[in-house]
Amino acid sequence: MLPSISIAVDSQDRLLIEAPELASNTIKTNDLVHLHSKTTFEWVGRFDAVINSGGVKLIPEDIERKLSKYIYKNYIISSLKDDILGDKLILIIESEKYKLNENIFNSLNKFEIPKEVYFINKFIYTKSNKIDRINTKLTVN
């Protein structure tokens, strides 16, 4: 624990860090968190990844955590433009096409269930070996 550091959230649940020994101003992040105390928090996802589908804000990382028990390939939750919803939720799996078990979406609420599932042979990765969500999504469009 670092006694001179304190954490808080802004009105949109983004992490704020006060660290006077490191920075003179509050450090504002794009990390969505749930505060548990003045010194602990749970990371939920990235503010810039939030999907607004039909007015419902969906956090891809949260949905991915729920699906992690059922999908054993690399996958991401993303979105595509939709005339009715604005953005529709999609699931992209790095694999040859296979039949998904019907029960994998049982842990999701009705808004979190992907409208479409795409299978692609290879995700695009960043230099740091993370899935490049933006460019991978463009391969299914």
What residue ranges of the chain have pLDDT lower than 70?
Answer: 1-2, 141
For residues 138 and 141, give the distance between their C-alpha atoms in angstroms, rounded to a whole number.
Answer: 5
The string of pLDDT tens digits covering residues 62-93 is: 999 999 999 999 999 999 999 999 999 999 99
Contact at 8 Å (CB) between 16 and 8? yes
DSSP state of 136: H
Would you list the DSSP string of 38-78? Answer: SS-EEEEEEGGG-EEETTEEE-HHHHHHHHTTT--S-EEEE
Q: Among residues 100, 81, 98, 99, which one has the least CA distance to residue 140?
A: 81
- Assigned token pair, 79: 């979105």
What's the pTM? 0.85
